[in-house]
Structure 1
Amino acid sequence: MTEMLAPDTLVSHPEHGQGRVIIDSGATVVVRFARSIEAVLRDLITVAPSLARALVTGQLDDSRDTLLRAQALAIRSVNDQWGVFSRSRVQLLPHQLWVCHRVNRSWPFRWLVADDVGLGKTIEAGLVLMPLIASGRVRRLLILAPAKLVPQWQQRLRQMFDIRLQPHSRAIDTPQLDFWDTANMVVASIHTLRGEVSGEDGRPSKFLDAEPWDAVVVDEAHHLHADERTGETLMFQLLRAMEERRRIGSLLLFTGTPHRGKDYGFLSLLSLLRPGEFTPDEDIEPQLAKLPEVMIRNNKATATDLRGNRLFTPVTVESREYAFSAEERAFYNTLSQFIVDGRAYASSLDGRAQTARMLVLITLQKLAASSIAAIRSALVRRRARLEQTADEARTLAMREEEGRTLDDRAADEEDRTPFAILAELMDGEIARLDELIELAEPIRQEHKIRRLVDLIEGELPPNEPVLLFTEYKATQALVVNALHERFGHGGCAFINGDERLDELRRPDGSVGPKSWSREAAADAFNQGDVRFLVSTEAAGEGIDLQERCATLIHVDMPWNPMRLHQRVGRLSRYGQTRPVQVFLLRNPETVEARIWDLLNAKLERIQQALSQVMEEQEDIGQLVVGMTGASFFERLFAEGQTRRAGGLAEWFDRETATIGGEDLVDRVKTMLGQVARFDFAQVGRNLPQVDLPDLERFFSAMLDAEGRRILKREDGLEVKTPAEWADADYALQDRYAGLVFDRAAKLGKMGAARLVGVGHRLFDTALDHGLKRTGVLAQLARLTAPTLVGVIEDEVTGQGASISRVVAGARLEADGTITVLRDWELLQDLNAIGRSDDLGRSSAYDISLEDAEKRLRSAIEMQAPLLADMLTRPRVRSEMLLIPEPMTPSAG
């Protein structure tokens, strides 16, 4: 008869790993494993070696096996909490590690991350996901992003973390291919998938009926909007439908503007994360108290490196003025009057006619603020359309007139037909357009563009890379031509939504089209192949341009201030090594410039008011603008055109009374005061001071133990995969070359395949085999002090914890004091064992191994609440004891 297993006996199971016996029922045994309590077959478990038994018997284990197991335990513990060993190709930052640590405290996780632009949301997502993918907890992953950001997510997660996402497209999403039931790691456009809710194709949604996703990440999550008056956007409905069908395990939302001005929308967004805890139909104040457990916000003002040094310097913004020529002034004044008259006429119309007319006038205003070249081409197109409509109206009027009798004509001599009136109105507007076109036609050298070129040539260092933003393609072509003319052809790339400009002058003087893809233009600029990059809003998001450039010029100003933050975010982001300088081109004669002056002054006053009451300094302009809403600024600039200069300031104050009002300031203050945020002063000492190079010693020793010698080549390490590993995993290569543990290494086209860390197939295999080794008590040469490796577990089950175990160490110093080690400090100590011959031998210890274990375990227990603060009731288990050579089991 098999001996009954006593409660708390350490056992191993081929599927669940190590656990402790709760009840031995004979054929089955109830065991508590790391993530669950299972009733398993007795025949499938084996009694694992335990330190307690080894201390009684005095049986020593193989020193190499025990050291490798200790290192593997420490590596897994550090990475599960912080993701620090993930294979990101950029240096990880404290706030990014902290976000990973915070999010992965629970499972499934539900968080809204509202960091400033440029703090590395893709890296944060990768750090959160990599440990979960490596451990098998996340097998089905869905990334949802705006269409233009889908390629970026696919590229960056592959390059930085070797997370390979399959992009979704309608072309491959067919009934025959069955995409959603076969793809497990997907990145998709949320704008495309919103049709799954509306049923655009008339068939059931395979997307919503597919297997649940272990984790869903949504970028630009403010598109998931709900309004108490207009209802929910289709994208919001999509996420809600997924929730209702239980298709989402963990959910991570990213947005820089979580609160768009209405509490209802903000709470609706939070309700997607925590249904039942947040509801838009109830008062927001008591719900804000729950924000620390659902919302994270870090800002550039407090972002630091691992030494606590601030990463970002304030962005310098300067204006450069220019004036109209006489011809430009005449055109601007005439256009302004045309718009004023047009608005007056539009106000007399009803419904759609009024809306359509206003939209035309607003578009003309925006174009005029960009360049005369932009407005000229629009006026010509507008005139052509009106001419066609007027011709059609005249034809219909003539037909109507032909059908009337002489008596009808005599009776209604003063009453013209509707078509006749329409034709007359069209003719009147065409005449006004002809006047504007005539004034614009001779203006081919615009003073704004001349001032722009003079600024670059006169104030910037030679060959200084410059990023320029403009609203419209016509202005973009004007700028590209001017830069080519002054600084030479071939020195300027461009980005726009069409990836093409038609009116570009060639070196031979001819005019024709040129194409630049978004990625090719950004690469050429980052690599120094071109000095200038001129972009529309197509590069306002999703492109990193800080590699060489620290100078940005706003050729024109968008009516939505949020776009300014997005533009500057292309340069003011992690990796920028110089202060970012921004120039605004403005003409003080224009209404737009005066409104911008008033708006900037108001935002500065709001910033000052909030800075006085906030502990951490933060640029809250982006939040305030986001809470105000783009439609407000659109109306502000549009209506401002009709105001006389003398009364503009008074009108502006009335219209913007709610911006920076007490309610908004209090809301920003309350929200920022409640959210979870990284604080280096509080968290800094706990941050793991280890990186990929700290894995190399374990990796090399592990392969050596398997009989494989690592060869050091100029381009990295070369090793043949152990046969046993290759036989068990077909995905492993027979041989690996060029392996490096350096994020800064130039990896070439092989990229992530050469960078070793958690997530690399060969390293993960080595880590798994290290964890399966069985040593618990070993004597190590050159170990200077007895060291206990302890595992801190949670006594409480069912907490939904992503992390249920944390490794810690305790070292008994020669003077009798004990040093408690966090997992990463323990790894550093283990890596140092045998590193050099001058470490010296340990002092003699007048203490038994049993007493040493008890003292060391007690020391870890004292600090367990701090070492494993995510656990409800931490309990310490002695996993292994490493002793110096002079100490032996008979020493006590």
Structure 2
Amino acid sequence: MTETPALAAGIPVHHPRHGNGRVVVDMGATVVVRFGGAVEQVLASEISEIPSLYSALRAGTDTDPIDALIRAQALSIRSVNDQWGVFSRSRVQLLPHQLWVCRKVIQEWPFRWLVADDVGLGKTIECGLVLMPLIASGRVRRVLILAPAKLVPQWQFRLKDMFDIRLQRYVTQADTARGDFWATASMVAASFHTLRDDRRGARQRLLDADPWDLVIVDEAHHLSVDERAGETLAYSLVSELQERGKINSLLFFTGTPHRGKDYGFFGLMHLVQPDLFDPEHDPLKQLSQLSKVMIRNNKATVTDLQGQKLFKPVNVFSREYQYNNNETQFYRTLSEFVIDGRAYAATLEGRAQTARMLVLITLQKLAASSIAAIRNALRKRRTTLANLVGRSSESVSLPDEEQATFDDLAEAEEALPGSVAVLLMEDEIQRLDELIALADGIARETKIERLLQMIGEEFGPDEPILLFTEYKATQALIINALHRRFGFGSATFINGDERLDGLDQPSGSAKIVSQPREHAADAFITGRVRFLVSTEAGGEGIDLQERCAVLVHADMPWNPMRLHQRVGRLSRYGQTRPVSVYILRNPQTVEARIWDLLNAKLERIQAALSSVMEEQEDISQLVIGMAGSSLFNELFSGSEGLSGERLGAWFDRTTSTLGGRDVVETVRELLGSVSRFDFQQIGKDLPKVDLPDLERFFTQTVGRHGRRIFRRDDGLEIRTPDDWKARSYTLRDKYEGLVFDRSLRGANAASRVLGIGHPLFDIALDDAHGISARAASVDGLGGPVLILAVEDEVTGTGSLVHRLIFGVTEKDGKIEVLRDWELLQLMNAPAVKGALCAGPVTEDAEAVIERFKEAFDAGLSFHVPMLRRPRSWPEMLFLPSEAR
């Protein structure tokens, strides 16, 4: 009777009850096997050996070398993508910092991260890169993306357009007690503003729904908590989902995580990682933990794959104008009106005073935008007061800036003066009549005339220009002026409710025009219009850098954060020209003087921080976010009537905390504690492969099923192999126009790009992993190549990437280690192909394996620093055909 040879340590085996494992030691009648995290001693008769390199060598059977090459390619492809997401079929050029964010986030499972990248660095791309390998591996099946209401459609559109990830948008009409929306929806984009309220039971139905594999929150600073005011409804929604065990992994995005109060910041971080952060504990002791859960990259440091900086500094220019006599008289009279209104409000208390101050501040904001905007408000207010005097209400408010979008606030401000009947002074109606008469006497605004002059003199006739303003009345004024000067149809608009009143027509009439923001953006990007005039709605979620590099601030908002977001529409990856920003300002106005003082102060803060930071970074966004909107409202509204030295002294007192030691120290400590992309450290590890590197694998895999791929003008054409169709009902009989090209645009482009995530490519990858080939001889190799799989012996560590692939070869007598993407490049080399004559590998194959493995294991912890207790297993062996 022939004795069964002992099973070597590491050989993979299967047990009907314990599953797959690896041999620890063969004891004859029993075998000690590691099954995941457990070690069991089982009967030798109960286990069966899984095909492996060892079994292939023992059998000595011939292997189809093409099959072996295909399997090696598949192993490499999956290993690369599991770490970096680089083969996700996104339709955007992937950047090193985005790949790094993906790798950083998915190193562990479940994960908890807050990504606080600068505007324009591609958070949607980072999100898609994280999602794609998780979805492809089946680890993520239920995804919930929470965002402000007006960004939800953008998330749905972009993930479909760039990654073909299809989200179901949450709408209140679909969510009823009978409709059971959450029972059927598994990949959802929803507004946390919509779900935070439980008047219709929506919040409770979400809380009762099945757990989510991954919850993603955009603009996560809306999840705020205050020491005195408590939690916002959005914060409590996410908090309760966590407490109920409904969130497995969590990913936050926000450009301004710290809003000026440590309590609120660490309250947000408590949501991210409850065991590391607590707003009640000492902030300084918690900062050292930030690198474990918080990422921030900024435009000053991100690079392309060659290490070249991606972003150039933005060029800012001021263009001045002065009021004419009629405008000067109007603004002087309006200033007196505001000052008198403040004096009257000062005699009141409580809500009565607050209501009047809010209306006065709003009038100042509107006046700073345009006479058209303030005139509309004054007329509506005059009508309201005439009809409702004696029935006034002191309950006046605007949306909470923490919860509403900038456009929501602007629309509320335009409506506010005319919607409330509180008297600002005893003779207000008479004073309003005077102001309206002065405004009506101004036929053309100097600011608009200066704007048209600047465009005509400084730019060529085909230069596309993006213009920003806060209010729709000013937006209509600018578009009408552009149409008169440069032709009807030369300008279009974006605003919050996608409609604009008072647009002049060629016939001479005026009407309301409705237009989706996507249509307006497309018309501008494709060159059908030259000008795009946007309110703050265009400052979020729309990328315009492909064609435009000129931005004009037609008015200056009181909150500087809006300027940062505006510029972010153009200063982002894909911009091929230096961005030029133009500011229209009247140096005689108090707003212009406040802006001068504010900019000077921010420059001093920047200089102070730059002197103590290792990396150069524009910190204005963080500092402004920490200051809060109330400070800027006080700055601009409270300065009315001040000038010269009095204004400067008042400004210094009011902004004493802005850029004070607490702010500077907080920003420095915050930025010094987070994780960030550094090309010098990780550039060498970045995979230098992309979708085209998948083509050889795909064509060979299809070919082994007897199918030919035809190359047509629009891409590849293939009839799906029958056994693939039998395994997946989602596959079509025939595919046309398939490409390995991220730059594809046009109809159905997302479904034509091949990569991981496309059902046809995914089944090809699964099919290749099932190939039994383990050893082969091939032509074109300079020496033997051993492929090793590295796994973590310690389970339960949360490691998501638990299996990595490496190649080991020998060149000029020196052993070299190939990373997975380098191994794929080798397998793709034109010279490497199956040997013309099949035959067994050489008898010294085991000696090669042991020598290569020993050399690799000597530096094992260096090769796989993310694994706690790595162990390598020989997976495949290739020998040059001449070595047979």
TM bin (shorter chain): over 0.9
Name 1:692's counterpart in structure 2: 691
State the alpha-carbon separation in 2 of the partners of residues 706 and 301 from structure 1.
50
SS of the aligned residue for 1:886 comes to: helix
State the alpha-carbon separation in 2 of the partners of residues 526 and 336 from structure 1.
41
Aligned pairs (5 A) from 1:871-890: 871-888=867-884
1:868 and 2:867 correspond: no
Aligned pairs (5 A) from 1:806-825: 806-813=804-811, 815-825=812-822
Shift of 1:600: 0.2
Residue deviations 1:332-376, cap 9 Å, x none? Answer: 011011111111111221111111101100000000000011001
Distance 1:467 1:851, change over 3 A: same
Q: Percent identity?
A: 61
CA contact (8 A) 2:355 2:422 kept: no
State the alpha-carbon separation in 2 of the partners of residues 447 and 55 from structure 1.
87
Moved more, 707-716 or 58-67: 58-67
Name 2:850's counterpart in structure 1: 854
SS of the aligned residue for 2:300 comes to: helix
Distance 1:314 1:37, change over 3 A: farther
Shift of 1:499: 1.5
Distance 1:351 1:36, change over 3 A: farther
Shift of 1:173: 0.6
Distance 1:391 1:289, change over 3 A: closer
1:832 and 2:829 correspond: yes
Partner AA of 2:237 in structure 1: L
> TM-score with structure 1 length normalisation?
0.91
Partner AA of 1:92 in structure 2: L
Shift of 1:39: 11
Partner AA of 1:456 in structure 2: I
State the alpha-carbon separation in 2 of the partners of residues 562 and 41 from structure 1.
69
Name 2:479's counterpart in structure 1: 480
Name 2:803's counterpart in structure 1: 805
Partner AA of 2:104 in structure 1: R
Aligned pairs (5 A) from 1:328-727: 328-390=327-389, 428-727=427-726
Residue deviations 1:279-326, cap 9 Å, x none? Answer: 000111110000111000000011111011111101111111000000
State the alpha-carbon separation in 1 of the partners of residues 162 and 511 from structure 2.
39
Distance 1:188 1:805, change over 3 A: same
Residue deviations 1:685-714, cap 9 Å, x none? Answer: 100000000000000000101111111111
Partner AA of 2:128 in structure 1: G
Distance 1:467 1:520, change over 3 A: same
State the alpha-carbon separation in 1 of the partners of residues 296 and 335 from structure 2.
43
59, 62, 86: which one aligns with 2:64: 62
Shift of 1:30: 9.0
RMSD: 2.8
Shift of 1:60: 4.0
Distance 1:297 1:42, change over 3 A: farther
Name 1:760's counterpart in structure 2: 758
CA contact (8 A) 1:54 1:60 kept: no
State the alpha-carbon separation in 2 of the partners of residues 424 and 578 from structure 1.
52
State the alpha-carbon separation in 2 of the partners of residues 541 and 286 from structure 1.
35
Shift of 1:48: 1.8
CA contact (8 A) 1:782 1:840 kept: no
SS of the aligned residue for 2:172 comes to: coil
Shift of 1:33: 6.4
State the alpha-carbon separation in 2 of the partners of residues 459 and 40 from structure 1.
83
Partner AA of 1:776 in structure 2: R
Name 1:404's counterpart in structure 2: none
Partner AA of 2:133 in structure 1: P
SS of the aligned residue for 2:576 comes to: coil
Aligned pairs (5 A) from 1:139-150: 139-150=141-152
Partner AA of 1:384 in structure 2: T
* Ranges in structure 2 where 5+ consecutive residues have no aligned partner: 393-420
CA contact (8 A) 2:11 2:54 kept: no
Name 2:777's counterpart in structure 1: 779
State the alpha-carbon separation in 1 of the partners of residues 7 and 765 from structure 2.
29
Residue deviations 1:822-873, cap 9 Å, x none? Answer: 0000000011154689x999xxx99932222122112322332232221012
Aligned length: 851
Partner AA of 1:286 in structure 2: K
Partner AA of 2:803 in structure 1: R
State the alpha-carbon separation in 2 of the partners of residues 781 and 377 from structure 1.
80
9, 12, 20: which one aligns with 2:11: 9
SS of the aligned residue for 2:98 comes to: helix
SS of the aligned residue for 1:827 comes to: helix
Shift of 1:660: 1.1
Name 1:401's counterpart in structure 2: none
Shift of 1:505: 1.3
Residue deviations 1:86-112, cap 9 Å, x none? Answer: 011011000000000100111001000
Distance 1:51 1:484, change over 3 A: same
Partner AA of 2:871 in structure 1: R
CA contact (8 A) 1:224 1:236 kept: yes
Distance 1:191 1:96, change over 3 A: same
CA contact (8 A) 1:78 1:823 kept: yes
State the alpha-carbon separation in 1 of the partners of residues 653 and 883 from structure 2.
82
Residue deviations 1:112-136, cap 9 Å, x none? Answer: 0000000000000000110010000
State the alpha-carbon separation in 2 of the partners of residues 786 and 835 from structure 1.
12
State the alpha-carbon separation in 2 of the partners of residues 767 and 27 from structure 1.
38
State the alpha-carbon separation in 2 of the partners of residues 35 and 447 from structure 1.
76
> TM-score with structure 2 length normalisation?
0.92
Distance 1:768 1:5, change over 3 A: same
185, 192, 195: which one aligns with 2:187: 185
Residue deviations 1:531-580, cap 9 Å, x none? Answer: 00001111111111111001000000111100100000011111111111
Aligned pairs (5 A) from 1:209-358: 209-358=208-357
SS of the aligned residue for 1:90 comes to: coil
Moved more, 81-90 or 852-861: 852-861
Shift of 1:733: 0.8
State the alpha-carbon separation in 1 of the partners of residues 836 and 809 from structure 2.
16
Distance 1:128 1:16, change over 3 A: farther
Shift of 1:276: 2.2
State the alpha-carbon separation in 1 of the partners of residues 246 and 713 from structure 2.
48
State the alpha-carbon separation in 2 of the partners of residues 44 and 457 from structure 1.
86
Distance 1:584 1:203, change over 3 A: closer
Partner AA of 1:491 in structure 2: S
Moved more, 866-875 or 636-645: 636-645
Which structure has the larger Rg over C-alpha atoms? 1
SS of the aligned residue for 1:737 comes to: strand
